[in-house]
Structure formats: C-alpha cells, structure tokens
Amino acid sequence: MLREFNYLTQIMEKAINFLPSLITALVIFILTIVLAGIIRRGVRHALNQRKAAPHVRQLLSKIAYWSMLILGSITALQQVGFNLTAFLTGLGILGFTIGFALQDISKNFVSGMLMLIQEPFNVGDVIDVAGITGIVQMIDLRATEIKTLDGRIVLIPNSDVYTKAITNFTKADIRRVEISLGVAYESDLSLVRKTALESISSVKGLMSEPAPLVCFQNFGGSTIDLTLYYWINTKETNPWAAKDEGLVAINNAFNAVGIDMPFPTQRIFVQS
C-alpha cells in the first residue's frame, strides 16, 4: 500500500513539475501562430509596395509563414523535453533519401522558386530559352509553359530554364532590324543608299536614334551586297512587322527609281 502511495506521489510530482513547461510550450505555440500571421501580412505588404507578381507574393508569404510556424513549434516542443538533435538527425537522413530519389523534381522546384523571386521574365513576355521562342503562358514550381510563335504549347523544366541563357524580347524597348539584299554592279551606290534610307522613313515605330544605316559589305557573284540596319520602338510595333514593312518599302522604292536587284548567277567554266 505504501509502495503504491509513493508511486502515485511521484507521478503527481512529475505532473506538477511538467505543468509549467507545458503552459510555456502552449504560450510559445500560440504566440508563434500570431507572429507567423503578422509576418505573412508584412511580407505581402512589402511585396505589394514593390509591385511584385501575384504568384511571387503568394509563394514568399507562404514560405515566411511556415518557416516561422515550424521554428516556433520546435521551440515549444523543446520546452517539454523534445530531443531536437535526434529529430534533426532523422530528418536529415530522411531528407537525403527523398532528395536523392526525387533529385530532378527538387532541382525543378528550387529553380522555380528562384525564378519566381528573381523574375527574369513574366507571364506574357516573349522569350527564347533552350532553343524555344514563344510567349510565356505560365510559371509554376515544376515547369515553364511557353506558346511558340507557331501555336505549339511547350513545357520546359525549370532547371533547364534557369541554367540556360534566356533572351527576353519583351524587356527590350528598342530592337534592331536587319535587311540584307544585293544590287546590280552598274547601280549608283549613292542613289542606292539614299533610296534605301528614305524608303524606310515611314516604317511604324522607326527610331531616329540610333540612326538607320546602310553598309555595303562585299562583291557577290552578280550583285554588290549590302545590309540595311534600323531600330524600332517595340511598344509601337514588333521586329517581324517592321521587317515586312521595310522589305515592301525598299522593293517599291527601288522599282520606282530603276535600281536592279538581279538574281544570283553561277559561272561554270569548262576546260577545253
């Protein structure tokens, strides 16, 4: 009977000693939930001030919320004797095993997060990456969806997008257009230059600076070859439309003043 009484007394003493730790843990956990909510709202507000994309705001606010919640929960558990070292050791082994098995998914996930934070491009931008040119339709944590200029939908893994060179055509306010052609040898090259420059003056979005330029490059088989360079404002037009308009204008102008653009010819020498 005495032994049972002593055993019950020990249990009650342990419970009394454990109660302050339990209360402390509960208080820390409740404060963590409140603080995590405040941090989430703070991150959202800061990103709103920077006019970050909605998906970036959502991702970073969730990361901040859950990071604070996990940190506070671990702190609360330590108050009731939680063995953090053993937990982290087990978590590390488990994480290594899962990471090794899902390394491709992990790479895409990390690359997706970095792209959402750094924003090398946004939805709606025209980009070229990994040999694919098109309009960005969606950016998620696994892949980037691009609609090519001929209407195909391509999903590129984020790890490929992040590690490859990215050309963002939309972010460029001005673009250079090049038109290469050849004129007959008997042409007046001063007239050719003057006519070519005047012909593109009506191209939509044409920039006066940098000024359009005609460069004669070499003597071809049947023509003197040249390239016309001019810059356009991409907010008013696009390079494909500007090149189309320029080609039509040059052809009409050359025909009007009699500048000949002969077909390439090939000379065959027969040894007798």
Per-residue pLDDT of the chain (272 residues; tens, 9 = 90+): 555 555 555 555 555 555 677 777 788 888 888 888 888 888 887 777 766 666 667 777 777 888 888 888 888 777 766 666 665 565 555 555 545 444 566 777 777 777 777 778 888 888 898 888 999 988 777 788 999 988 899 999 888 888 888 888 888 888 999 999 999 999 999 999 999 999 999 899 999 889 999 999 999 888 999 999 999 998 888 888 999 999 999 999 999 999 998 876 555 554 54
Q: Topology of 2-82 in CATH?
A: Helix Hairpins (1.10.287)
pLDDT recorded at residue 164:
87
Q: What is the greatest pairwise CA distance in the chain? A: 131
pLDDT recorded at residue 10:
58
CB 192 within 8 A of CB 259: yes
DSSP string, 83-109: -HHHHHHHHHHHHHHHHHHTHHHHHHH
Q: Which residues pair with 201 in a beta bridge?
A: none
pLDDT recorded at residue 99:
52
pLDDT recorded at residue 247:
94
- Amino acid identity at 76: A
* DSSP single-letter state for residue 83: -
pLDDT recorded at residue 153:
92
pLDDT recorded at residue 63:
78
Domain range 119-168, CATH class: mainly beta
Distance CA 171, CA 236 (A): 14
For the CA atoms of 115, 120, 126, 129, the dihedral, rounded to the nearest 10 degrees, stands at -70
Gyration radius from the chain CA atoms = 34
pLDDT recorded at residue 115:
78
- Amino acid identity at 221: G
Q: Where are the domains of the chain?
A: 2-82, 119-168, 174-257
pLDDT recorded at residue 84:
60
Q: Topology of 174-257 in CATH?
A: Alpha-Beta Plaits (3.30.70)
**Roughly what angle, to the nearest 10 degrees, separates helices 84-101 and 54-78?**
140
User: What's the pTM?
Assistant: 0.55
pLDDT recorded at residue 237:
85
